[in-house]
Amino acid sequence: MGLVEPFHSSYISEDFKKFHRQLSTCDDVTLRMTYDYFKDSLAYFLETVDTLDLLSELESQGVLNTEIHLSVRRECGAASFSSRLLQDISDLGRNAVVGFWECLYVLKNDYPHPNLLSILSEISQRGERLVEQILLDEHGHSLNPELKDMQMKHKQHLLEKTQTLVELKPPGSTLESESFYLSERYVNLIVVSTDHFRPRSQNELIQTGIKHEECFKETQNGLEHISPNWLFRWTHQSQCVPHAVMVSGVPGIGKTTLMQKFVYDWVKGEHYQRFTFVFFFKFRELNKLGEVSLEEMILQQYPHLEGQIGNILQHPERLLFIFDGLDESVHQMNFKTSKVCNDPKHMDTFGVIVESLVRQRLLKGCSVLMTSRPTRMASINIRVFQRMTEIMGFLHRDRLIYFEHFFGNKELSEKAFHYVQENDTLYTFCYIPSYCWIICTVLSMCFRAHPTITDQLMTSLPKTMTQLFVIFVSNILVNHNHKKDDCYTAHDLLSSIGWMAEHGVMNHIVVFDERHLDSFGVRNDKYIFSCFMMESGRPPNVDYTFLHLTLQEFFAASIHFIDYDPDKLQGTLDKTKGYKDGRAEIFLRFLCGLSDSTTRSMLKSHVEELSTEASRHVISWLQEKIAKEQKPERSIRDKKELLNVFYYLHESRNKELVLQSTGSNKVIDFSGVHLTPLDCSVLSFILDSCREAEELHLNSCNMHSEGLRKLVPALRTIKCLSLSKNDLRDTSCPQLGSLISNSQSLGKLDLSYNNLEDSSCVHLAAGVRNNQKLKRLDLSHNKLEGPHFCELMEAISRPTCGIEELFLTYAKLTDMSSTHLALAIRNSQTLRKLHLSNNNLEGPHFSDLMTALSSPTCQIEELVLQEGGLTDQYAPSLVSLSTNRNLKVLDLRSNRISDAAFCHIRDLIARSPSLKEICIAYRFMSEEVRRELKMLEDLRPGLKVHIY
């Protein structure tokens, strides 16, 4: 085949010609090797974009017949389609592969997906060096026998460290954790390329959870998806092969497990054999070191390398250093300081050594891979990292896979997953693997206690995050109580561990040592301790962390109910006001959750009576906080603060408190605040608890169909609902139809600016037919033209419909819609106000609309036809409006009506007995005609002629 001519272009660019020449000069082996190297990346790209343009171009250029591929995509899904297409291109040989690459090069102009841009950039920029890199990654460097033998020993050592994945078992089932082969149990995590490491004003778990689904929408066209074996590939943003890569992620998201998988795959020869040696360090273990040299750092961790360490470090470009957990380092490295180390034998702090490696001052040419929590990223110089990535956790399908692995029983895993999926409070944090473990653990406990689905089982299942962790802790305590340990009771442990947890939350401490345990009187020699905390390191340098940061926050909250001290609790509550990083957000939710007596009762039998005084204290604090948020005018920030308070109320399950706190509010306005499905669930709880609210404004909330589905049941008493600018699209239409049908009092509904299309009219019509109270409906700035628009108009024309005001401005209506509009106008007994501005109504059917508007049965009092595409030829039809005995306001601005239509406009004004106000565009009228029309105001008292 010849040179592909780019579609959407009248010429072939120089860049494209250069790309074509580069491909043409490649031999078959190089071309095949390059294609195979990028196959995974291409598959991801093809799965996430609309590929109709690509298929069309492949067809037109004679690369292959794409009919079968369209069928595969339609019937089998994106994954099967991409796999089939890539294999068929490969089977067809050189010309097809070249044609495919050229079509992709053209496609990047219309689909600048970062994964595609990165692939094409690497091919264009690296040329023959790319093939060398591919071979090196596959086969590695040539080594002398001694070094090769040492490499084999090193790989064997790392294999033993990384091949198993330890998974804690549910308390009560066994006292031992269970190990699985990593290759069998690892569930893929989504990693994206990002530079969004600004200071966070909200708790990092909450903020990432909120952004999670939104981010995956962006991933389709805005964020680069990074597989572990792509971390050290060419980066389009930095235009280089990176030497330093940062992987960020919230606690429990799987950073360490991802690093384990990375090392395991290297050991097995799956990727990056360009690295002759890989060294894996954890900052929490490095914290124990005093001054040390790089050589000593390596040998302390890998003593088997002692005989060859000098030779190993002679080739820095062959080395990869992995540092896990920057946020846990005792050295506050910012990668900006001037102090550096440039000698592997020089003694210094490990912080200086790590900074020097990253900044290429030590072992220039080596590669560094580092992980950190997002909270640490705001204080470092991120420019020293050529690639910044963030782990976004599990997609929906990955969460299901995790549940299946955990339960090992398809029926049980599906039952558990379905329950969690229906509870947004529980499901939101399931993007975090360790959170999935906790929730699966709790559900397995519940299912063991109640094997069949009964009311008792449903009552025992957690409804809130607080209840989830209460059940988790309670079941551990049940198991502990069987061991009859009278000297050190559960109360003793929870008290000591709780104060330590609270200290950690308030001071940003997540790693504890023996000094912390001694200070708070925590004993680590009991089984129950190991159910809550994990150990790492070897005596005497042992560190302790809670199973999950959220568990630490739960204990920090529960201690105030176990050992209530009003001064300490108030002091903590006062401190939280000063935290701008959101560190106390989940802690506060747990405090409010434990104020619920039903939730607290689950722990009573294990830790005696939990303080009711603490509950009253928290409720008083919450009431004061709500009172402060009751402002008549709220900024976006104020609204977000109020939403946080609603979360506290939701966690408390205290409907009476909701009623007391928000009962007087007739208007609830969260316009401008992005609302997730979880936010909508919380708001639904508030609305359901407080039936006094009459108006709900949710404009520009980035709300989608799932969020609307959560809200609909709580909207039955709302009289005025604004959902403008939410991009609801047609997927939300069943919920909209249900909302209109089932509302007991909805009188005003604003659905403008939502990208609703003609098909939405089917559901809207069904709702309108069943609702006699709806008086005002705004569907402006949607795309309603089409065959189903008539169904909506037919519903409005029915005697049972009470709509008085209908707004269809910028609704993409054309002349074909005039007939359907005429039906509604002629038969509606209530329609008084009709706005049809900025539609293209000119055409042969416009007369049908005018006939209906002038019929004796027409009730229209206000008609807006601004910018309707009307010219002088439609002026005679407008005169017929003078027979309408109800028309009071007529707006004809921004139409192309000129002096030639003067007599018709004059007759319309003069003959309309009820007309009070008319607006006309002056642009196409002379000054003389303008004066004459204005003089018509003298015809009747109160008549206003506005000429713009």
Domain count, the chain: 6
CA atoms 901, 902, 903, 907: torsion sign:
positive
- Check whether residue 572 and residue 448 sit in a common domain: no
DSSP structural state of residue 855? S
Q: Is residue 1 part of a domain?
A: no
Whether residues 77 and 215 share a domain: the answer is: no
> Is the model's pLDDT at 233 over the cut of 50?
yes
* Cα–Cα distance for residue pair 53/899, rounded to 1 Å: 49
The closest of 784, 794, 777 to 828, measured between CA atoms, is 794
The encoded tokens of residue 509 equal: 């401490």
With both helix axes pointing from N to C terminus, report the angle between 760-769 and 733-742 in degrees, rounded to the nearest 10.
10
**What letter would DSSP give residue 596?**
S
Q: What is the mean pLDDT of residues 598-626?
A: 86
Q: How confident is the model at residue 218 (pLDDT cuts 50, 70, 90)?
A: very low
End position of a domain, from candidates 393, 422, 453: 393
**Does 773 fall in a domain?**
yes
- Phi then psi for residue 319, to 5 deg, are -115, 145
**3-state class (DSSP) for residue 367:** strand
- Write down the pTM of the prediction: 0.77
**Boundaries of domain holding 457:** 397-461
Give me 425's structure tokens.
Answer: 């409070």
Residue 718, SS3 per DSSP: coil
Using DSSP's 3-state secondary structure scheme, residue 341 falls into coil
Does a structural domain hold residue 9? no
235 occurs within a structural domain: yes
DSSP string computed for 521-577 = T---SSHHHHHHEEEES-TTS-EEEESSHHHHHHHHHHHHHHS--HHHHHHHHHHHT
Higher pLDDT pick, 365 / 433: 365
Last residue of a domain, one of 117, 139, 161: 139
Q: Is residue 542 part of a domain?
A: no
781 vs 433, residue with greater confidence: 781
294 vs 3, which has greater pLDDT? 294
Same domain, 663 and 713: no
Instruction: Work out the pLDDT band at 214, boundaries 50, 70, 90.
Output: low
Residue 230 and residue 312 in one domain: yes
Which residues, 6+ apart, have CB-to-CB distance to 772 below 8 Å?
A: 800, 801, 802
Give the Cα separation of 514 and 530 in Å (integer): 15
State both tokens at 218: 């962006």
- 31 and 20 share a domain? yes
Whether 585 and 679 share a structural domain = no
Q: Does some domain include residue 278?
A: yes
> Are residue 725 and residue 848 in the same domain, yes or no?
yes
Average pLDDT of span 31-41? 91
Decide: residue 94, CB within 10 A, 0-12 exposed, 13-18 middle, 19+ buried.
middle
CA separation, residue 183 to residues 164, 440, 452 (Å) = 8, 21, 34
Q: Are residues 293 and 376 in the same domain?
A: yes
Looking at residue 331, what is its pLDDT?
87
Closest CA to 549 of 208, 188, 191: 208
pLDDT band at residue 212 using 50, 70 and 90 as cut-offs:
low
Q: How many CB atoms lie within 10 A of CB 604?
A: 12
**Could you read off the pLDDT of 511-536 as tens digits, one per residue?**
898 899 999 999 887 667 878 888 87
pLDDT at 9 over 60: no
386 plus 262 within the same structural domain: yes
466 in a structural domain = no
**683 in a structural domain:** yes
- Asked if pLDDT for residue 678 goes beyond 70, the answer is yes
* Domain final residue pick, 393, 410, 440: 393
Radius of gyration of the chain (CA): 34
Distances (CA, A) of 813 to 680, 706, 790, 853, 903: 33, 29, 12, 17, 29
DSSP annotation string for 104-139: HHHHTTT---HHHHHHHHHHHHHTHHHHHHHHHHHH
CATH, residue 740: 3.80.10.10
Average pLDDT rounded to a whole number, residues 594-609: 82
Q: Which two tokens stand for residue 141?
A: 């460097």
Q: Which residue has the tokens 């997002």?
A: 374
81 shares its domain with 125: yes
Q: State how far the Cα of 204 lies from the Cα of 160, in Å rounded to an integer.
A: 34
Q: pLDDT, tens digit, for every residue of 684-697?
A: 999 988 877 899 99
pLDDT of 80 strictly over 60: yes
Residues 561 and 502 placed together within one structural domain of the fold: yes
Question: Helices 465-481 and 597-607 meet at what angle, rounded to 10?
Answer: 20
Beta strand pairing call for 533-536 and 805-807: unpaired
More confident residue, 894 or 481: 894
Measure CA of the first residue to CA of the last residue in the chain; give whole Å. Answer: 61
Task: For residues 389 and 407, state if they share a domain.
Answer: no
Quick count: other Cβ atoms within 10 Å of Cβ 68? 12
DSSP E strand stretches across 360-452: 367-372, 387-393
Please report, rounded to a whole number, the percentage of residues in the chain having pLDDT higher than 70. 90
Helices 204-219/585-594 angle, 10° precision: 120
Identify whether the C-beta of residue 256 lies closer than 8 Å to the C-beta of residue 284. Answer: no
How many Å apart are CA 713 and CA 731, to the nearest integer?
18
Query: CB of 259 within 8 A of CB of 324?
Result: yes
Whichever domain contains 383, its CATH number is: 3.40.50.300
The Cα 697–Cα 260 span in angstroms is: 48
Q: Identify residue 633 by its one-letter amino acid code.
A: E
Packing angle, helices 636-652 and 585-594, rounded to 10: 40
Contact by Cβ (8 Å): 188, 80: no
Query: pLDDT by residue (tens digit) across 366-395?
Result: 999 999 988 788 788 888 999 998 888 887
pLDDT of 198 higher than 60: no
pLDDT tens across 802-832, in order? Answer: 999 999 999 999 999 999 999 999 999 999 9
Cα 421-424-426 angle, rounded to 5 deg:
80
| Res 565 pLDDT > 80 | yes
Structure confidence at residue 208 (pLDDT): 57
